[in-house]
Amino acid sequence: MTTFVWAAVLGAALLHALWNSVVKSAGDPFMSSARVALWTGVFAVLVGLVTPAPLAAALPYVTASAIVHVVYFLLVGRLYRDADLSVAYPLMRGLAPLVATGLAAFTLGEIPSGLALAGVTALVAGVAAMGVSGLAHRRIDHATLVIALVNSLIIAGYTVLDGEGARLAGPDAAHAFAYNAWSDGLTAALYLPVVLALRGGRAVPEFLHDPLRSAFAGLAAFGGYAIVVWAMTQTEIGAVAALRECSIVFATIIGVAFLGEPFRAARAGAALLIVAGAVALRLA
């Protein structure tokens, strides 16, 4: 992994943690996640207008990714209702890199090097340790734990889908960004009627609530994942998926510093494991 790709994915990780913190800090996480998804769609349409269309081979991946992302946003909205950001976020993200690495190896023949696999393993171990610490101190309940783990599998699935879809979308970065724009735009289009069906007419004024924060979160969500999708066209999907989970360190810092969540020694050790994994991936 080149230094530029490594640094770009770390920047994407920070953006991901930022938009998740916006959802968590909202009074209604479900509607906050819906606003983020819809604002992401707005930015996606704008980018889609100025980038070349993805090649036809990528279009089934666009559709599948959008459907899976609707489920992802629904679960995110439920997840932050009963758990701390610094606990729920690591658990949700924890299994995804390992599962994505396995899926990429099985379906795409993408076998990571020994050092890359060590980096992925260290990241996953750090993520798991951080989440388990929160569970032990009752910062998350068992029902929410199940939701976090299910969403981990959802994340792994769309990661591999989007990594391969972006590679099929065209020969350059513009096509990778276009792939992400089309997927995010379709996600918003599919998610809107779902939200209206679940919340009815009272959802309409909620879409206009807190527009500046929601627009910022939507831009962070779109930009952060666009970088990740592009990065997966440059190097192994599993390595990008794992490095992206450095967002957990950022989310923990945000949760402790700005949301008043407790920080314990076990989480510090877990954070060190995550950093060690990130360094290993840079050297791989």
Paired tokens of 171: 């020969």
Instruction: Please tell me the predicted confidence (pLDDT) of residue 254.
Output: 78
Residue 233: phi, psi to the nearest 5? Answer: -85, -10
* Cβ(231)–Cβ(12) below 8 Å: yes
* Cβ(72)–Cβ(159) below 8 Å: no
DSSP character at residue 57: G
Residue type (1 letter), 127: V
Which residues 6+ apart lie within 8 Å of 56 measured at CB? Answer: none
Instruction: Please tell me the predicted confidence (pLDDT) of residue 188.
Output: 95
Residue 142 pLDDT > 80, yes or no? no
Which position has the higher pLDDT, 130 or 227?
Answer: 227
Instruction: Please tell me the predicted confidence (pLDDT) of residue 193.
Output: 93
Q: Environment class of residue 27 by beta-carbon count within 10 Å: exposed (0-12), middle (13-18) or buried (19+)?
A: exposed
Place 243 in a pLDDT band, splitting at 50, 70 and 90.
confident
Instruction: Please tell me the predicted confidence (pLDDT) of residue 252.
Output: 72
Residue type (1 letter), 193: P
- Tokens 């206009």 belong to which residue? 208
Instruction: Please tell me the predicted confidence (pLDDT) of residue 95.
Output: 66
DSSP character at residue 233: T
Angstrom CA distances, 257 to 86, 130, 231, stand at: 11, 16, 30
* Cβ(195)–Cβ(34) below 8 Å: yes
Condensed to tens digits (0 to 9), the pLDDT of residues 161-201 reads: 999 999 999 999 999 999 999 999 999 999 999 999 988 88
With 0.85 as the threshold, say if the pTM is over it.
no
Instruction: Please tell me the predicted confidence (pLDDT) of residue 62.
Output: 97
Instruction: Please tell me the predicted confidence (pLDDT) of residue 280.
Output: 74
Instruction: Please tell me the predicted confidence (pLDDT) of residue 249.
Output: 74
Angstrom CA distances, 164 to 57, 93, 102, 117, 238, stand at: 10, 20, 14, 20, 12
Dmax over CA atoms of the chain, in Å, equals 54
Paired tokens of 262: 């407790």
Condensed to tens digits (0 to 9), the pLDDT of residues 81-98 reads: 766 666 676 767 666 777
Please give the Cα distance from 33 to 19 (Å, whole number): 9
Residue 30 pLDDT > 70, yes or no? yes
* Cβ(226)–Cβ(82) below 8 Å: no
Which position has the higher pLDDT, 234 or 151?
Answer: 234
* Cβ(222)–Cβ(183) below 8 Å: no
Helix, strand or coil for residue 113?
A: coil
